[in-house]
Amino acid sequence: MNRVAVAEITPEFYADILRINEDNVEMLSPLDRQGLKKLLESAAFARAAVADGHAAAFVIALREGADYQSVNYRWFGSRLDRFLYIDRIAVAQPYRSRGLATRLYGEVLDFARAAGVGTLAAEINVEPENRRSLAFHRGLGFAEIGRQTIDGGKKTVSMQIRTL
């Protein structure tokens, strides 16, 4: 892997992001091109880790008050006044365990601090369990503040925050 740059998500990376999302859809949620464009319009922060000319990982986050209908986002919105919600972060299989998610979270933290946001919010699957993401977020200082069952009972998520 050559040098990795972090860049704004632009249309040239959409196909890569949709592929990464599809490869991780069990732990994320489905996303098509139109959905990605709409999500990016509402996003406060959207970056890709770019390696070898392609998006190897990405993160999309939204502030409170965004026009976004996700049940998890709305859960946080009903409980927190000011927050940055990590809607999704994912790394393409060939690039895992190379620090890309950590690097993207560093960018998220810098953005949140600069924007004066004191709370990061994210949900992580506990059913089906996303053990890797649970451990990753725990290592970043996230803590569970609740759980909810979604997708008609198919998923249970741990609702977590990190105070900055």
Per-residue tens of pLDDT for the chain, all 164 residues:
568 999 999 999 999 999 999 999 988 889 999 999 999 999 999 999 999 999 999 999 999 999 999 999 999 999 999 999 999 999 999 999 999 999 999 999 999 999 999 999 999 999 999 999 999 999 999 999 999 999 899 899 999 999 99
128 preceded by a cis bond (ω within 30 of 0): yes
Token pair recorded at residue 25: 């859809």
- CB neighbours of 126 closer than 8 A, spacing ≥ 6? 134, 147, 156, 157, 158
For the 5-163 domain, the top CATH level (class) is alpha beta
- The C-alpha atoms of residue 115 and residue 139 are separated, in whole angstroms, by 23
**What is residue 75's predicted lDDT score, i.e. its pLDDT?**
98
According to DSSP, the β-strands at 84-91 and 5-8 are: unpaired
Token pair recorded at residue 146: 């609740």
Backbone φ/ψ region at 29: left (φ over 0), alpha (ψ -120 to 50), beta? beta
Cβ contact 102:62 at 8 Å: no
Looking up tokens 């409980």 gives 79
Token pair recorded at residue 113: 């601090």
Domain limits, the chain: 5-163
Quick one: which of 116, 32, 121 has its CA closest to 74?
A: 121
Global confidence as pTM: 0.95
**What is residue 1's predicted lDDT score, i.e. its pLDDT?**
55
Cβ contact 104:17 at 8 Å: no
- Give me the residues paired with residue 151 across strands: none
**What is residue 2's predicted lDDT score, i.e. its pLDDT?**
64
